[in-house]
Amino acid sequence: MLGIVSYGFYIPQYRIKIEEIAKVWGKNPEEIKKSLLIEEKAVSSSDEDSLTMGFESASFALNNFFDKKEKIGAIFFGSESPSYAVNPSSTILGEFLGVGNHYLASDLQFACKAATGGIITALSLIKAKQLEYALVCASDKAQSRPHDLLEYTASSGAVSLILGEKEVAVEVIDWHSFSSDTPDFWRRDGIRYPSHGGRFTGKPSYFFHIKQASISLLKKTGYKPKDFQYAIFHMPNGKFPQEIALDLGFEKKQIEKGLTVSYLGNSYTASALMGLVSVLAEAKKDDLIFFCSYGSGAGSDAFVLKTTASIEKVRQPFDKAIKDKRYIDYSTYLRFMGTI
């Protein structure tokens, strides 16, 4: 059995409401909320970046794994907002976590699906008996150009998973990836803010890749949408994951718990995984979970997951972190983002 042995997450305390951003630009907040299905988003402070948030989430994951942390044989750090352009976050994370020095370290990039690529790599190494445990961290302090549509959605957060084949809490039954050269979202070296292809990011990008990866995995495993208790898809906004879920044959009740984007925003690499940890806060033994990430550029990684009896030992309270929040105004938001 291969899968998640422990997990942790970090959600910044600060939030900004859609109304606060909209009023600065003279926009109708109700129209924006109706279009994106987002009410507010999480904002990291000026002294928080992807590395510090990653450390918080990984430390959380180690609470249930502290006595075995030196058995971690790989650390994969997935992010599109790394602290350094040249200098790995994975080794800094390993140093501060105190896992020793005998581990494979690698920083991964693939827009919002870098971490799920790390999960597949880690599980493959574990299955091949090359290592016993691996830590995969997804963390982003998402940036957006002021007055860009992304400003209403781009948020911050981190999720860390410890993977192994002993005392597995969430089994990875199977996976499938689908990739192509579809540049719907990009950021050139030295350019501060990302660019995107507007409506081009939808049908030929997000929907096409998630649908192909999902259909292929369902066909491969023989499962039907009705077999799953939960379904989670990458969340660039509130509309897209609902549309693709219904198109694939899932029902609204299967995706509701994982739709964290409406109150946290899109934390990029951590986005879909944030939906997963929300689901794990209530999932019961033997629940089947369908999970599919998406990364611009473009590609999707789809997974069939199943909870075990060990989920009770590692379950983390998600709602408490959601309720622990402080609202900020737009000028404070710009300061936290380093814009001013």
Q: Which residues are catalytic?
A: 80, 112, 234
Where does residue 193 rank: exposed (0-12), middle (13-18), buried (19+ CB within 10 A)?
A: middle
* Residues whose CB is less than 8 angstroms from the CB of residue 74 and which lie 6 or more positions away in sequence, other chains included: 103, 104, 105, 106, 122, 125, 131, 134, 135
Strands 326-327 and 3-10 turn out to be unpaired
At 13, give phi and psi (nearest 5°).
-70, -30
Structure-block tokens of residue 307: 């909870």
Which strand ranges, in their side-by-side order, compose the sheet holding 288-292?
Answer: 104-108, 72-78, 133-141, 156-164, 3-10, 170-182, 297-307, 288-292, 230-233
Among 23, 77, 15, 69, which Cα is nearest to 50's? 77
DSSP state of 152: G
Cα–Cα distance, 193 to 172 (Å, whole number): 35
Cα–Cα distance, 69 to 59 (Å, whole number): 10
